[in-house]
Amino acid sequence: MIVDFSIAPIGRGESLSAHIADAYRIIEASGLSHEFHAMGTNLEGEWEEVMSVVNACRLRLLETCGRVSISLRIDDRKGPHGRLDRKVASARGKAGL
Amino acid sequence: MIVDFSIAPIGRGESLSAHIADAYRIIEASGLSHEFHAMGTNLEGEWEEVMSVVNACRLRLLETCGRVSISLRIDDRKGPHGRLDRKVASARGKAGL
Amino acid sequence: MIVDFSIAPIGRGESLSAHIADAYRIIEASGLSHEFHAMGTNLEGEWEEVMSVVNACRLRLLETCGRVSISLRIDDRKGPHGRLDRKVASARGKAGL
Amino acid sequence: MIVDFSIAPIGRGESLSAHIADAYRIIEASGLSHEFHAMGTNLEGEWEEVMSVVNACRLRLLETCGRVSISLRIDDRKGPHGRLDRKVASARGKAGL
């Protein structure tokens, strides 16, 4: 499955990038296919793999923050892996872009 | 934590309520505090408790659907439980409604 | 269409209910069908009606906050109105609850 | 503001890329800064600019689909534009990646 994952502390000031950096390190170290984008990170893997990474990021932020907000959007489709790389290319091709 | 959870099959027709009903039964049987609303269900519990219910709904829908879409919005705040019942009342009170 | 709408300031402390109360007053005054729930508010109306209310809440929070986060999930289905009241009842009925 | 925008028809089969391609063409023609990613598209612009593009995509899909699902996550921060390009770089830098 592919998961669009976004995490942020609440009540820790307007600049969030230091907290996001903590999540980036955990995601990079996870070995899962991923794509950082301006509003979140797309992760590809099995349910347990992806949720383990999300939970590790959550626990890391809760070490220093009293309240954390997380958004997950999951696209779970039976069949081959490697969709993370192909989804944009497929729609781009059909759009003639 | 409180989680706003929404699940839907993709490509199974426009009416989704039979699939949502499957999720409702699993949620009711879970024993977790919950609130059904028109666009999803709010669940309150620990990470493992809530994710176990979400995963059970996911696996149930994947028995009959080739593709499933899930949205989760998580509000994780240290402190006492029972926030599911109090959040709307607190904002209503401050709004003078 | 039905829209699940959530709004929060970023960097204004952990307690958000005073800001949410501002949004509640705007929503109540709008006259649109709505349902407050623990993680957001469901609004029913035409695109322009709903987006006008969301934008008014956004502008209200930006008067006092430098950064605002908004989440919208839209279910737009051709046909009769009044779905806000019927969606939960329909799934409950099929679930035998 | 930056908006993460995702749109999909409901009940039109499991493959969505032809519908997404329609949205891509509208987004490309809009002239707004944007970033296609595997789970949505990030758009940067003023409220009216971004919502006009989202609404055009919505109306296009409703020409052929009876039900459309849309997700928007908005990060609205006072100050300079051009954040779409800088957000990932900023967190990457702090993560030492």
Beta-ladder partners of A8: A69
CB contact under 8 A, C6 and B92: no
Decide if pLDDT at B29 tops 90: yes
pLDDT, chain C, mean:
94
Q: What is the pLDDT of residue D74?
A: 98
Q: Which chains touch D (3 or more CB pairs under 8 A)?
A: A, B, C
Beta-carbon contacts of A18 under 8 Å, excluding residues fewer than 6 positions away, are: D94
Decide if pLDDT at A49 tops 90: yes
CB contact under 8 A, C55 and D73: no
Decide if pLDDT at B13 tops 90: no
In contact, B9 and B23? CB cutoff 8 Å: no
Average pLDDT over residues D9-29: 91
Give the strand pairing for A67-77 and A2-9.
antiparallel
pLDDT, chain B, mean:
94
State the Cα–Cα distance between residues D35 and D23, nearest whole angstrom.
13
- Report all structural domains of chain D as residue ranges with CATH numbers, in order of start: 2-95 (3.30.70.930)
Residue C90 identity (one-letter amino acid): S
Summarize pLDDT for C15-67 with one digit per residue, the tens: 888 899 999 999 999 999 999 999 999 999 999 999 999 999 999 999 999 99
**Residue pointed to by tokens 């209503």:** B92
CB contact under 8 A, C39 and B97: no
Of residues C43, C39, C56, C34, the one with CA closest to residue C1 = C43
pTM exceeds 0.90 for this model: yes
Tell me how close the Cα of A84 comes to any Cα of chain C, in angstroms: 23
CB contact under 8 A, C38 and B35: yes
Calculate what percentage of chain B has a pLDDT beyond 90: 84
Q: What is the pLDDT of residue C12?
A: 84
Q: What SS3 class is residue B53? A: helix
A–D CB contacts, 8 A cutoff, strictly below:
109
Calculate what percentage of chain A has a pLDDT beyond 90: 82
Q: What is the pLDDT of residue A79?
A: 82
Interface test with D, best of A19, A30, A35, A37 (most D CBs within 10 A): A37
- Cα separations in angstroms, A78 against B5, B10, B15, B69, D14: 21, 12, 21, 12, 11
Q: Helices C47-62 & D47-62, crossing angle to 10 degrees?
A: 160
Q: What SS3 class is residue C10? A: coil
Structure tokens at B42: 């709010």
HEC profile for C35-95? EEECCEEEEECCHHHHHHHHHHHHHHHHCCCCEEEEEEEEEEECCCCCHHHHHHHHHHHHH
State the Cα–Cα distance between residues A21 and D87, nearest whole angstrom.
11
In contact, A38 and D42? CB cutoff 8 Å: yes
Residue B2 sits at φ, ψ, to 5 deg, of: -115, 135
Q: How many residues does this entry show for chain B?
A: 97
